[in-house]
A = this chain, B = another copy of it.
C-alpha cells in the first residue's frame, strides 16, 4: 500500500466524523504495513475537547501493541496536528507522521509551530506533509461552509 492509500482510509474516517457533526479529521496508525488503529474526531460525541483523532488513535495503537512507544509505527492523519497532538506524537515516539493538509492557524508540525523539529527534542519523528492535500482540504472547507450556511 502507498501512503495515499492509507490517507484515503483516513479520509473515509474523516467523512464519518463530518456525517456525525464533528470537524472532519481521521487518523490511523500503521505497523508493518497493517492498520492497527483507526479513529476519527469525537469531540462533540464525547463532549471532550481533547478527543482528537490522533489522541484516540495513539491510545488504541498502544493498547493493540501492548507497548509504551510507537517507534516502528506511522501515524496517518488528514490534518496537520495541533500542539497537543504533535506533543503526544513526540512523547509516544511515533516513528513517522504523515499528514494531509496543513493547518495554517494552529498546525504544530511546521505551520504555527514546529514541535517535531524542535532542536532539543530527545526524539524526532520523520514528517511527511501534503499527502492527498487537496482532498483533505476540500473536505474541511465543505464542512465549515455548510456549518456557516446553517448559521452555526
Contacts and interface: CB of A to CB of B under 8 A. Distances in A.
Interface residues of A, number: 30
Contact of A118 (B50, B69, B93, B106): B106
Interface in A77-111: 82-88, 90-93, 105-106, 108
A93 B58 contact: no
A120 interface: yes
A124 interface: no
Q: How many copies, total?
A: 2
Query: In this complex, which of A105, A113, A120 has the most chain B Cβ atoms within 10 angstroms of its Cβ?
Result: A113
Given A105-B120, A106-B118, A120-B105, A68 B84 contact: no
Given A48-B68, A106-B121, 19 more contacts: A48-B62, A49-B69, A50-B91, A82-B87, A82-B91, A83-B84, A83-B113, A83-B115, A84-B86, A84-B87, A86-B87, A87-B108, A105-B120, A106-B118, A106-B120, A112-B120, A113-B113, A113-B115, A113-B118
6 nearest CB pairs, A to B: A84-B87, A83-B87, A49-B91, A47-B68, A105-B120, A84-B88
Interface of A: 47-50, 55, 58-59, 62, 68-69, 82-88, 90-93, 105-106, 108, 112-113, 115, 118, 120-121
